[in-house]
């Protein structure tokens, strides 16, 4: 009779791929700055901006795919939605010029922006559980930016256009800073650029206890 031995082996899989959030935040900031400058009438909403929006969509989808591979549902949800938005917006602006569709009406384009603002606001609520407070602030500010753009499109107000443009510049700078800060902190292995990390209660208690000793 053959003696069979069963060996219980536990294998720990360590994720070694880079975190994709820095790329996603930087692309979001780049997109927000260019669109805001267009809202401020620094230049028209032409080929340069639309090309950036379209190709940024590939970057967002790449970030979403990397998040899915790492098991990060929020990254998949957030940047996947932003990628679809980027492609849809560039298509809305480009296809009528190519004779492939009608130009969207003011109400259609305004509703498109406001609906996306609601989605981004939902993302902001989800990030309340995330330890990075700067991410939450940036997401909520981005939601307000898309809401202002939608209202500006519907009302046609020049004042609203200036407000949304300035607000968008703020959001763009915050997002670019967040992406660069994540990269910098990861590279140095410590908190070089502050991103408002909220420490869990149990870790905070351990730190306070060690300091008391």
Predicted confidence (pLDDT) per residue in 114-123, tens digit: 999 999 999 9
Mean pLDDT on 69-95:
91
Q: Is the pLDDT of residue 209 over 50?
A: no
Predicted confidence (pLDDT) per residue in 6-60, tens digit: 555 665 556 667 778 899 999 999 999 999 999 898 988 888 889 999 999 999 9
What is the separation of C-alpha 57 from the centre of its chain, rounded to a whole number of angstroms?
A: 11
The per-residue pLDDT for 7 is: 56
Of the two residues 21 and 171, the one the predictor is more confident about is 171
The per-residue pLDDT for 4 is: 57
State pTM to two decimals: 0.82
Q: Is the pLDDT of residue 205 over 50?
A: no
The per-residue pLDDT for 190 is: 86
Instruction: Work out the percent of the chain whose per-residue pLDDT is above 70.
Output: 85
Mean pLDDT on 184-188:
89
The per-residue pLDDT for 194 is: 85
Domains along the sequence of the chain with CATH:
21-192 (1.25.40)
- For the ranges 10-14, 95-99, 139-143, 159-163, the lowest mean pLDDT is seen at 10-14
The per-residue pLDDT for 115 is: 94
């Amino acid at each position: 009779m053959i003696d069979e031995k069963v060996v219980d082996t536990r294998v720990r899989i360590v994720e070694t791929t880079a975190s994709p959030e820095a790329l996603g935040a930087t692309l979001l900031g780049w997109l927000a700055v260019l669109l805001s400058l267009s809202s401020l009438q620094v230049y028209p909403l032409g080929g340069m901006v639309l090309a950036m929006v379209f190709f940024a969509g590939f970057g967002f989808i790449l970030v979403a795919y990397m998040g899915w591979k790492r098991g990060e549902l929020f990254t998949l949800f957030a940047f996947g939605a932003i990628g679809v938005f980027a492609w849809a917006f560039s298509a809305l602006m480009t296809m009528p010029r190519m004779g492939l569709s009608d130009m969207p009406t003011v109400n259609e384009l305004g509703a498109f922006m406001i609906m996306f603002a609601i989605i981004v606001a939902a993302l902001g609520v989800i990030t309340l559980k995330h330890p990075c407070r700067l991410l939450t602030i940036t997401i909520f500010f981005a939601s307000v930016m898309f809401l202002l753009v939608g209202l500006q499109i519907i009302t046609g107000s020049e004042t609203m256009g200036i407000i949304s443009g300035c607000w968008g510049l703020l959001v763009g700078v915050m997002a670019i800073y967040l992406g660069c800060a994540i990269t910098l902190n990861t590279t140095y292995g410590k908190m070089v650029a502050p991103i408002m990390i909220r420490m869990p209660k149990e870790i905070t208690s351990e730190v306070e206890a060690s300091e008391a000793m």
